[in-house]
Amino acid sequence: MKKPQLVILISGSGTNLQAFIDQCASGELNAEIACVISNKADAFGLERAKSAGIQTATLSHKDFDSREAFDQALIELIDPYQPDLVVLAGFMRILSAGFVQHFLGKLINIHPSLLPKYAGLNTHQRAIDAGDSEAGATVHFVTEELDGGPAILQAAVPIHEGDTADILASRILEQEHKIYPLATKLILEGKLNEGQAFYEGSALPASGHAYP
Ligand code: GRF
């Protein structure tokens, strides 16, 4: 039987992508990465995909006149793979309403904050500046509201005195690499409606709910 198909979108280093590559290879995640697409030709994640023998594509937003035109071309690139999920893994683009609607329910993202806190950029520094005692990451479905779709899984880490944004980011990334493939597994296995998804003490409504 064909494994569930993933298309993963990246713009950069691709450490989350690597977690998916590793877990698909080990069988921990029963899925196949059909293609990795980057909007930046020099994204290191493309090298990670190639090393793993995964098909790659680059589609530069700079070649398009509008966000809508780029997103339409992206849809046309993704659709032939008929993915079960489109996974945003450090894809640094705001997506148009048309794109989000096209993949609604199949489009997921990871955001480096304990949403609904700190949607948008510079999440780590904002958490430090606010004097928060913890930070974290959230896997969520993508809707038209930026970083505002229903949460799937969340992991929290402590913020220590003297933490810089970089130190905090790497502490959070370690958790991202666990919860993102795990959330994907839960979705693909249809387990989101069986109560709550837990990870290391964090719990969130598991699907179809707005944030509490
Ligand atoms: C991660 O911090 C993720 O939460 C955010 O973008 C970053 C991607 O990192 N959406 P990487 O490219 O997976 O290393």
Position 210 in a domain: no
Which residues line ligand 1 at a C-beta cut-off of 6 Å?
Answer: 12-17, 89-90, 110-112, 137, 173, 176
Position 51 in a domain: yes
Positions marked active-site: 111
Question: What pLDDT does 1 receive?
Answer: 87
- Of all atoms in ligand 1, which is nearest to the CA of residue 111? 4
Position 212 in a domain: no
Please tell me the total count of domains within the chain: 1
pLDDT in tens, 118-176: 999 999 999 999 999 999 999 999 999 999 999 999 999 999 999 999 999 999 999 99
> Which domain covers residue 68, as residue numbers?
5-205
CATH of the domain at 108: 3.40.50.170
Helix axes 44-51, 15-26, angle to 10 degrees: 10
Whole-number Å distance, alpha carbon 165 to ligand 1 midpoint, is 14
Position 211 in a domain: no
Whole-number Å distance, alpha carbon 115 to ligand 1 midpoint, is 15
pLDDT band of 193, cuts 50, 70, 90: low
